[in-house]
């Protein structure tokens, strides 16, 4: 075992790096690489441009100087160790979503335990392993919420290439990897970046429901459904339709990616999903108490935004399903929910579903609602119902309903368990169906 004495013998750092790579799998790490701590000049330009174009989500760290220069975060950095931990892409025996029992879906990155906790654990194991060999180790670890771009570090460290869907794609595990890094004072030799593997493929750009991928590798986060599902405000009519039945996050540009074909790493017990939690019935979510929410989703990566976005998205999903049996529950939200955004969204949803009960409730809300925005949604929905638009052209487009099982790597339209990425006009009656998941 390489062990640092006062002055390391020749070849010590090379051996340490080789042994670290060997040990990674047993430390619960699926890929590891080393990047130099030089400033990230190209990234800096991209971050500035990204901000100028208004493409930020608002969840990015604000200070671009600090984001692109590791020496502003760590005294005399000598290397950055990048790690990737893979997560599953398939659900075993997913519960069926069907009329009267519609279900929503949480994205794969929020299956199982919060990945921040899991990756912090892997970084701590790695740090302990290194410290055993180099007691003088100094290290600063970060995952997601740190200032560095986890993707830019991973790209430089050879974990994968920066794909057209803006992900880091790993040759073995595709996009289904979480990233994290550790800045250190260890003079480890950097790895080489890997070659771009996207070639002429454009499947992710073509499948993105909102056109958020404005160019190869470039994302307008303001239109990204993943971002939209994490907001707490009202969403526009156009984008609510695109949300489909997604409750948190969006995986479409990963599902269609051919590099992900057959990829499904299940070795980390923390990420094993409970199908009932990640593909839950929608209606019970509307009346879920804070306590129930905490019990069910408190340890989940989606919980950082709290209960409200998931409930709002459940209301949107029921509207997108045009689920008539949910009308009484949606009317209760419209009348009684203390949160104006929930009431406004319920108004939109009831306008999508239509029918005499929904219309009467909307007429009442248009009279009684005290919140201006919620009232205006009630008025708009009522007007479109009275114009007979519920099943007509104005409300006829809906977003895909991504299911959480089955093969990955085929275009959505060909997947047996998915509706096509863009559904055509609604059939009479308006509702769309999900074919049963393959066994
Ligand atoms: C803010 C944020 C978001 C925002 C914005 C995402 C975005 N693409 O910018 C929102 C909320 C939309 C989001 C969504 C998701 N996120 Co997020 N997110 C972040 C966060 C905190 C910062 C990202 C950031 O700085 N974006 C600004 C852009 C400019 O920077 P960047 O993406 O790092 O830049 C790289 C590429 O985008 C590319 N690039 C950027 N601009 C341009 C321009 C051109 C012309 C080109 C060619 C390339 C290019 O080059 C950079 C280096 O590779 C990172 C964690 C972190 N600290 O880095 C996680 C992170 C990117 N998210 C992650 C995940 C898992 C997701 C979701 C899959 C969750 C989900 N299932 O819904 C989606 C994926 C959406 C998508 N297509 O990117 C992972 C990605 C892992 C991977 N394999 O790449 C990260 C790294 C978290 C982690 N530690 O694992 N996220
Ligand atoms: S996560 Fe969804 S909305 Fe965002 S870029 Fe990918 S496909 Fe488009
Ligand atoms: S879908 Fe095609 S273009 Fe998009 S990231 Fe995957 S390989 Fe690259």
Spatial neighbors of 18 by CB under 8 A, at least 6 apart, are none
**CA pseudo-torsion sign 289, 291, 296, 298:** positive
Could you give the CA distance from residue 105 to residue 7 in angstroms, rounded to a whole number? 55
Residues 209 and 173 in one domain: no
Residue 131: strand, helix, or coil: helix
32 with 133, same domain?
A: yes
Q: Which atom of ligand 1 is nearest to the CA of 226?
A: 72
The residue segments making up the domain with residue 87 are: 12-97+108-184
Backbone torsion region of residue 393, taken as left when φ is above 0, otherwise alpha when ψ lies between -120 and 50, otherwise beta: alpha
Where among 184, 215, 246 does a domain terminate? 184
Question: Do 168 and 285 reside in the same domain of the chain?
Answer: no
pLDDT of residue 4: 59
Query: Does 244 sit in the ligand 2 pocket, CB within 6 Å?
Result: no
Residue 428 lies in a domain: no
- Torsional sign, CA 35, 41, 42, 44: positive
Residue 328 confidence (pLDDT): 98
pLDDT attached to residue 439: 22
Q: What's the pLDDT tens digit per position in 404-437?
A: 433 333 333 333 233 322 222 222 222 222 222 2
Instruction: Specify the pLDDT at position 358.
Output: 98
Which candidate in 121, 144, 196, 237 is catalytic? Answer: 144
Other Cβ atoms within 10 Å of 50 Cβ, number: 18
Does the active-site annotation cover 144?
yes
How far away, in angstroms, is 151 Cα from ligand 1 center?
7
Q: What pLDDT score does 424 carry?
A: 27
Is the CB of 198 within 6 Å of ligand 3?
yes
Global pTM value: 0.91
Residue 234 and residue 368 in one domain: yes
CATH number of the structural domain spanning residue 326: 1.25.10.10
Residue 5 covered by a domain: no
Residues 180 and 208 in one domain: no
Centre of ligand 3 from the C-alpha of residue 258, in Å:
7
The DSSP line for 401-425 is: ---S-S--SS-GGG-TTS--SB--S
> Would you say 243 and 317 are in contact if contact means Cβ atoms under 8 Å apart?
yes
- Asked if residue 194 is part of any domain, the answer here is no
Asked if residue 219 and residue 312 are part of one domain, the reply reads yes
Going from the C-alpha of 63 to that of each of 7, 50, 51, 71, 73, the distances in angstroms are: 38, 13, 11, 14, 11
Domain total for the chain? 2
Q: What is the pLDDT of residue 406?
A: 35
In a shared domain, residues 315 and 395? yes
Nearest by Cα to 344 from 307, 371, 310: 371
Q: Is residue 270 part of a domain?
A: yes
Residue 435 lies in a domain: no
- pLDDT averages per 10-residue partition of the chain, 439 residues: 70 97 98 98 98 98 98 98 98 95 97 97 98 98 97 98 98 98 98 98 98 97 98 97 97 98 97 96 96 90 91 98 98 98 98 98 98 98 86 36 38 32 27 27
Cα-to-centroid distance, 283 and ligand 1 (Å): 31
Question: What is the predicted pLDDT for the residue at 392?
Answer: 38
Apex CA 370: angle with CA 368 and CA 374, to 5°?
Answer: 95
Ligand 3 close to Cβ of residue 90 (< 6 A): no
Residue 90 is assigned to a structural domain of this protein: yes
47 with 163, same domain: the answer is yes
User: Does residue 146 sit in the same domain as residue 35?
Assistant: yes
Among all bound ligands, the one having the nearest atom to the CA of 168 is: 1
**Residue 2 belongs to some domain of the structure:** no
Judge if 287 and 387 occupy the same domain. Answer: yes
Residue 178 falls within a domain, yes or no? yes
Give the Cα separation of 285 and 104 in Å (integer): 10
Q: Indicate if 154 and 214 belong to the same structural domain.
A: no
Same domain flag for 159 and 292: no
How many residues make up the chain in this entry?
439
């Amino acid at each position: 075992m390489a062990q640092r004495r006062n002055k390391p013998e020749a070849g010590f750092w090379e051996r340490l790096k080789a042994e670290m790579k060997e040990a990674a799998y047993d430390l619960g790490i699926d890929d590891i690489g080393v990047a130099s701590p030089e400033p990230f000049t190209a990234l800096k330009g991209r971050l500035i441009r990204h901000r100028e174009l208004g493409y930020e989500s608002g969840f990015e760290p604000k200070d671009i100087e600090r984001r692109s220069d590791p020496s502003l975060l760590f005294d005399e950095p000598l290397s950055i160790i990048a790690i990737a931990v893979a997560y599953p892409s398939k659900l075993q025996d997913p519960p069926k979503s069907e009329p009267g029992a519609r279900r929503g879906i949480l994205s794969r990155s929020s299956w199982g335990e919060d990945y921040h906790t899991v990756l912090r654990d892997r970084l701590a194991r790695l740090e302990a392993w290194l410290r055993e060999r180099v007691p003088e180790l100094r290290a600063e670890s970060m995952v997601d919420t740190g200032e560095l771009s986890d993707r830019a570090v991973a790209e430089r460290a050879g974990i994968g290439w920066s794909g057209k869907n803006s992900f880091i794609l790993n040759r073995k595990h595709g996009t289904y990897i979480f990233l994290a890094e550790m800045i250190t004072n260890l003079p480890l030799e950097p790895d080489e970046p890997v070659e771009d593997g996207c070639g002429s493929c454009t499947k992710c750009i073509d499948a993105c429901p909102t056109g958020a991928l404005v160019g190869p590798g470039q994302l307008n986060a303001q239109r990204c459904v993943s971002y939209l599902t994490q907001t707490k405000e009202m969403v526009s009519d156009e984008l609510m339709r695109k949300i489909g039945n997604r409750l948190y996050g969006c995986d479409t540009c990963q599902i269609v990616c051919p590099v992900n074909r057959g990829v499904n790493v299940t070795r980390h017990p923390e990420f094993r999903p409970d199908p009932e939690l990640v593909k839950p019935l929608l209606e019970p979510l509307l009346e879920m108490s804070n306590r129930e929410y905490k019990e069910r989703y408190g340890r989940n990566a989606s919980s950082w935004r709290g209960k409200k976005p998931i409930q709002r998205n459940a209301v949107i999903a029921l509207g997108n399903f045009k689920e008539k049996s949910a009308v009484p529950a949606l009317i209760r939200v419209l009348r009684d929910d203390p949160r104006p955004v929930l009431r406004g969204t319920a108004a939109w949803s009831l306008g999508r579903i239509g029918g005499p009960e929904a219309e009467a409730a909307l007429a009442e809300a248009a009279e009684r609602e005290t919140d201006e925005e919620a009232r205006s949604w009630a008025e708009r929905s009522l007007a479109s119902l009275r114009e007979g638009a519920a099943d007509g052209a104005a409300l006829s487009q809906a977003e895909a309903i991504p299911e959480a099982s089955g093969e990955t790597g085929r275009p959505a339209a060909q997947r047996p368990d998915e509706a096509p990425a863009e559904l055509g006009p609604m059939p009479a009656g308006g509702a769309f169906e999900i074919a049963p998941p393959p066994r």
